[in-house]
A and B are shown apart, each in its own frame.
Chain A
Amino acid sequence: MSLLEIENVTLRFGGLVAVDNVSLHVETGEVFALVGPNGAGKSTIFNLISRFYDPAEGKIRFDGNDLLTQSADQVPGFGIARTFQNIELFEQATVLQNLLVGRHRHRTTGVLSDVLFSRKAYREELRHREAVEQVIEFLDLQAYRDKMIGGLPYGVRKVVELGRALASEPKLLLLDEPASGLSVEETQDMAFWIEDIQKQMGISVMMVEHDMGLVSAVSNRVMALSDGKELATGTSADVQSHPAVIEAYLGTGEISKTGTSRA
């Protein structure tokens, strides 16, 4: 059984079919990449898994559980963590506090024991801090741990968001364009981290990415989407040489057909 199974999922926004009968599965321990032109429905699939959208048809199962019966805030409890395309950090909090929010799914204390700062709350707080410090160590964020997000450069924010997702100790990590806006060096760091996340931490990764260099370097399998439909799935090289993928990115080469080639 796969870790994540998406079966024949369709999502419509009015007349627009954003995701059209897509099926995919992510195996435990693999890096699975979604590629495709803008508006292909890649991030939409992430939002479906996060339960921000309700699919019109289809099934989404994670680790044997039906995700469609769960609400968005219950999804992380199963071990799914995500980042966002346009960085959604808690701006007026420090890096440390942001990462600690990532630990939310592991909290066991109630409001009362928090307000009174009971022994239990204290011990749990120590555990959270320890887990977060490991993430800070892993991502080299020591220099920024007490800095406010509002004052951090873009590249660092991207890493903090990855850290926040990692702090929740997920089984599956959804990375929405982890390398967008990053410099060449930062993208390389990101590639090493994704590899370490997969191999050392044993976390499965599903990512949306436009940087084919990064995709080829880290992913085991790649799925190409266009207009909400699956074009091809396979290794990075297979997908990149697939005729349908080339057509989606570059067109058919026949000018008279460009307007209708997708129909």
Chain B
Amino acid sequence: MRFVFKTSYDADIRLFKHRAQATWYVLLLLLVLATPLYFVAIDDAYLLGEITGVLILAIAGMGLMLLTGHTGLPSLGHATFMALGCYVNINLLNAGVPWVIAFPVSGLLAGLIGTLIALPVLRLHGVYLALATLAMSILTSDFVVLAEPWTGGIAGAAVPDINIFGIEVNRYSTPYKFYYLVLFVTILLVWAYRNLLRTPTGRSFTAVRDSEISARAMGINLTRTKATSFFLSATAAGLAGALFGHSAGYVTNETFDLVMSITLLLMIVIGGLGFIHGAFFGAIVVGIIPVAIANGRSFLANAFDVNINIPGLESAMFAFILVCFILFEPMGLYGRWLKIRTYFELFPFYRKDMFKRQKSYLKTDRVQ
């Protein structure tokens, strides 16, 4: 058990609680920076592409985490904002705008349009908000078809390569550069997210999540706070969408479908609602499951000559995992990790009810 003696206000403000924690994160940073070396050594960047995909999902997950995990507003429509970011990015690049401008603008525009769409539905609570965003998600594919001049409609649109001051970045020809680019964006967003949480803006989000009435009594404007959260959330989703486009190389009206919206929500619930770590843990699970299923399938086929071809197996697995988490670990993977860590820190004084909450889920999750 570690005791941190706080001798200045900085001890509560700084990003890492103590030196040991900072050391772990520096090690993690070194690990992710060194990861490509392994793939250079084995000269096969396929898995690195998958890891990059996980990071992109984590960026979108952070966006949704801010909205759902920290502000308490469920959304089943975040694929829509990813689509917005992706198509804005494509169109700006095609118009000759440099990537360093097109990329942030695609995020901001997704944020702005997202906020405009969200303003009328922000008066809704809980499942009603979820339903409204679900409708948005269902309509996305149709809108992509309707906006054919910009999106290529059903035929789809090719995503131009990234060019940063003469450096060409492409998912397939330069997977290492693409990995570092995505990693850079991810770290930048994690830093911004952490800043939010230690300043009044982030605290006003959690206040709205936990008690709207008391947030108002503290002088927090609900509509403005929710709209801000929606803007930041949709911006992150838009950036993730733009990167997703680069990663996919070609996007159609079916790329950002309802399943992606649902996957994002699954991700943050499995990872742990209300923790930045949750977005990453969730993204890893979501990234691993398809690979694990494919490997399991080929293993069964090779070793036992058993061929399993069940359509929808992935969705069923996701659903099963989600149900298990809601039943057995509502705090998600990160919550489980916290419990395990506390168990060893306090050994042998850990009590089973240490993490028990009076209310086991967020107030805004309830039907109001």
Q: Residues on A close to B: CB < 8 A? A: 50, 52, 71-77, 81-82, 84, 88-93, 96-97, 100-105, 107, 109, 111, 114-117, 121-122, 124-126, 128-130, 133, 150-151, 164, 168
CA distance A77 to B356 in the complex (A): 36
Shortest beta-carbon contacts, A-B, top 7: A76-B219, A90-B210, A88-B214, A114-B199, A117-B195, A129-B9, A105-B219
| Pair B199/A52 contact, Cβ less than 8 Å | no
B181-217 CB contacts (< 8 Å) to partner A: 192, 195-196, 198-204, 206-207, 209-211, 213-217
| Pair B204/A73 contact, Cβ less than 8 Å | no
| Pair A105/B196 contact, Cβ less than 8 Å | no
CA distance A71 to B354 in the complex (A): 40
| Pair B219/A75 contact, Cβ less than 8 Å | yes
Chain A's closest residue to B194 (CB) is A117
A101 CB to closest chain B CB (Å) equals 5
- Interface residue B366 (Cβ < 8 Å from any Cβ of A): no
Interface size class of B (residues with CB under 8 A): 35 or more
Contact partner of A89 (CB less than 8 A), chosen from B204, B210, B274, is B210
Q: Given A115-B201, A121-B199, decide whether A104 and B218 contact each other with a Cβ distance below 8 A.
A: yes
B260 CB to closest chain A CB (Å) equals 26
Q: What are 5 residue pairs bridging A and B, where the CB atoms are less than 8 Å apart in the complex? A: A75-B217, A91-B363, A92-B362, A101-B215, A111-B228
| Pair A109/B199 contact, Cβ less than 8 Å | yes
- Interface residue B221 (Cβ < 8 Å from any Cβ of A): yes
A115: which B residues are within 8 A, CB to CB?
A: 192, 195-196, 201, 232
Contact partner of B9 (CB less than 8 A), chosen from A71, A76, A111, A126, is A126
B201: which A residues are within 8 A, CB to CB?
A: 109, 111, 114-115
B195: which A residues are within 8 A, CB to CB?
A: 114-117, 121
Q: Given A74-B219, A92-B274, A97-B203, decide whether A130 and B214 contact each other with a Cβ distance below 8 A.
A: no
A130: which B residues are within 8 A, CB to CB?
A: 9
A47 CB to closest chain B CB (Å) equals 10
Q: Given A73-B220, A116-B195, decide whether A104 and B12 contact each other with a Cβ distance below 8 A.
A: no
Q: Given A101-B215, A115-B201, decide whether A73 and B207 contact each other with a Cβ distance below 8 A.
A: no
- Interface residue B121 (Cβ < 8 Å from any Cβ of A): no
| Pair A116/B192 contact, Cβ less than 8 Å | yes
| Pair A100/B203 contact, Cβ less than 8 Å | yes
A85 CB to closest chain B CB (Å) equals 11
Q: Given A88-B211, A91-B210, A116-B195, decide whether A77 and B219 contact each other with a Cβ distance below 8 A.
A: yes
Q: Given A90-B206, A107-B200, A125-B13, decide whether A101 and B218 contact each other with a Cβ distance below 8 A.
A: yes
| Pair B213/A84 contact, Cβ less than 8 Å | yes
| Pair B12/A93 contact, Cβ less than 8 Å | no
Contact partner of B214 (CB less than 8 A), chosen from A74, A84, A92, A100, is A84
CA distance A150 to B331 in the complex (A): 14
Chain B's closest residue to A133 (CB) is B9
A104: which B residues are within 8 A, CB to CB?
A: 200, 203-204, 207, 218-220
CA distance A103 to B204 in the complex (A): 10
A205 CB to closest chain B CB (Å) equals 16
B214: which A residues are within 8 A, CB to CB?
A: 84, 88-90
| Pair A117/B210 contact, Cβ less than 8 Å | no
| Pair A114/B200 contact, Cβ less than 8 Å | yes
CA distance A111 to B200 in the complex (A): 9
CA distance A89 to B222 in the complex (A): 16
A90: which B residues are within 8 A, CB to CB?
A: 206-207, 209-211, 214-215
A84: which B residues are within 8 A, CB to CB?
A: 213-214, 217
CA distance A88 to B216 in the complex (A): 11
| Pair B217/A72 contact, Cβ less than 8 Å | yes
**A88, A109, A111, A168: which has the most chain B beta carbons within 10 Å?**
A111
Chain A's closest residue to B189 (CB) is A115
A166 CB to closest chain B CB (Å) equals 12
A109: which B residues are within 8 A, CB to CB?
A: 199-201
CA distance A128 to B218 in the complex (A): 14
B228: which A residues are within 8 A, CB to CB?
A: 111
| Pair A76/B196 contact, Cβ less than 8 Å | no
A103: which B residues are within 8 A, CB to CB?
A: 200
| Pair B210/A168 contact, Cβ less than 8 Å | no
B363 CB to closest chain A CB (Å) equals 8
CA distance A130 to B274 in the complex (A): 27
Q: Given A101-B207, A109-B199, A126-B9, decide whether A91 and B218 contact each other with a Cβ distance below 8 A.
A: no
- Interface residue B357 (Cβ < 8 Å from any Cβ of A): yes
| Pair B357/A150 contact, Cβ less than 8 Å | yes
CA distance A91 to B13 in the complex (A): 21
Chain B's closest residue to A102 (CB) is B218
- Interface residue B359 (Cβ < 8 Å from any Cβ of A): yes
- Interface residue B7 (Cβ < 8 Å from any Cβ of A): no
Q: Given A104-B204, A114-B196, decide whether A88 and B219 contact each other with a Cβ distance below 8 A.
A: no
